[in-house]
Amino acid sequence: MGGPLTTQQKEKPFPFLAVWPNQVHFGTIKRYETSYRVVSVMNTGGAGLRIKKVSNLDPDAPFGLSNNTCDNKNLGPGESCSFRVKFSPVGIKDYTSGFEIETDNNDLNSYYTGLIEVKGVSVYNYWAYLLRYNRLSGTLGKASFGQMGAGASSTQNIYVINTSDTEWRDIKLDKSGLPAAYSVTSENCTGKTFGAWGYCHITVKFSPDDDNVRSLNRKYGKYNTVNINTKAAGLNASPRYPEVIESLNFSVPKGVIKLKGRGGIFNRQFYDRATVAVEGEACSKFPVKGVLKSGRYWYFR
């Protein structure tokens, strides 16, 4: 797909299915946890494109779809949809699977089909069994949102378990350590009192935009590029072929929520009882209209 436009391409606009990220890596999570990653889909070409469906290539693997807005979707030029990939392992092993985005045009499927590789690792954790026992869907004590473009968003349920022998009384949340890209959308911790093995949940939303993450990386909004002909590296917000995109630049906002509880019935002082850590990576909006891909490189004509 690289190089100058052909006469036919100049005369007839064509659609292009841009899928990002097309490699979704969950890293390592605990068995019985549930984690999510957002996949953004855009028709970056100049003609209409219809998405038929997003298919799970291995339903027996512990990966699934959530919040899918792409099935049976007509995408005009520059229009987009998205879905979340869910990882809920019940075994202790490395997992690899995939999803496929199909168009409704059989003649174009070989060209416009998006393949997404998904990977994740599951490890043992004693406390994570409480998630299975209580039929809870979420992670323990922390959340990682992976890579996301500005304008996208995702939520994660986080469960906090009292693993000590001290009663946590009259819990309150200290959210002063959360960057602006994060917000608490629901929780049942505030005011709660529970002893060992007790728990509460916090739902955190990661919604990066240019205003709340740009300042964290001076290269934000620009692409790391390489010239296909000269091999020269560059940094450009608007590269044009033969300068192609080598990689994106990410801001990495990290934050914490502290759970504080009173020391006892007659002790009004609050102490730190637990800390919830959240992190995600955010780049400027991607994909964007006009971007194409050939092999491993994204590029603009």
CATH number for the domain that contains residue 193:
2.60.40.10
Average pLDDT over residues 175-202: 96
Indicate the helix (H) or strand (E) that contains 213: helix 210-213
Q: Is pLDDT of 221 > 70? A: yes
Residues 178 and 210 in one domain: yes
Residues 87 and 41 in one domain: yes
What is the total residue count of the chain? Answer: 301
Task: Give the CA count within 13 Å in the CB-facing half-sphere of 174.
Answer: 12
Q: Is pLDDT of 114 > 60? A: yes
Residues 122 and 145 in one domain: no
Using the 3D structure, point to which of 70, 97, 126 is the last residue of a domain: 126
Token pair 């855009």 is found at 42
**Contact indicator for 178, 281 with CB cutoff of 8 Å:** no
Q: What are phi and psi of 57, to 5 degrees?
A: -75, -20
Token pair 């378990």 is found at 161
Residues 145 and 275 in one domain: yes
Residues 287 and 175 in one domain: yes
**Contact indicator for 259, 275 with CB cutoff of 8 Å:** yes
- Domain containing 197 equals 141-301
Confidence of residue 10 (pLDDT cuts 50, 70, 90): low
Long-range contacts, stretch 9-13, CB < 8 angstroms, 24+ apart: 12/47, 13/45, 13/46, 13/47, 13/77
Confidence of residue 263 (pLDDT cuts 50, 70, 90): confident
Helix, coil or strand: residue 131: helix
pLDDT at 267: 77
Using the 3D structure, point to which of 94, 126, 158 is the last residue of a domain: 126
Residues 167 and 260 in one domain: yes
CA distances from 149 to 17, 41, 100, 116 (A): 17, 11, 21, 17
Confidence of residue 11 (pLDDT cuts 50, 70, 90): low
Q: In terms of DSSP bridges, do strands 267-283 and 142-149 run parallel, antiparallel, or are they unpaired?
A: parallel
Residue 65 CB partners (closer than 8 Å, separation 6+): 54, 56, 83, 84, 85, 86, 99
Residue 90 CB partners (closer than 8 Å, separation 6+): 31, 32, 62, 132
Q: Is pLDDT of 154 > 70? A: yes
Asked, for residue 112, whether it belongs to a domain, the answer is yes
Q: What is the distance between the alpha carbons of residues 117 and 188, in angstroms, rounded to a whole number?
A: 36
Asked, for residue 6, whether it belongs to a domain, the answer is no
Lowest mean pLDDT among 23-32, 228-237, 287-296: 287-296
Residues 48 and 156 in one domain: no
How many domains in the chain? 2
Residues 296 and 194 in one domain: yes
Residues 287 and 176 in one domain: yes
Asked, for residue 269, whether it belongs to a domain, the answer is yes
Residues 176 and 103 in one domain: no
Residue 240: CB atoms within 10 A of its CB come to 12
pLDDT at 6: 53
Residues 213 and 276 in one domain: yes
Q: What is the distance between the alpha carbons of residues 100 and 19, in angstroms, rounded to a whole number?
A: 10
Using the 3D structure, point to which of 101, 126, 151 is the last residue of a domain: 126
Residue 30: CB atoms within 10 A of its CB come to 20
**Contact indicator for 242, 227 with CB cutoff of 8 Å:** yes
Helix, coil or strand: residue 38: strand
- Can you give the pTM of this predicted structure? 0.90
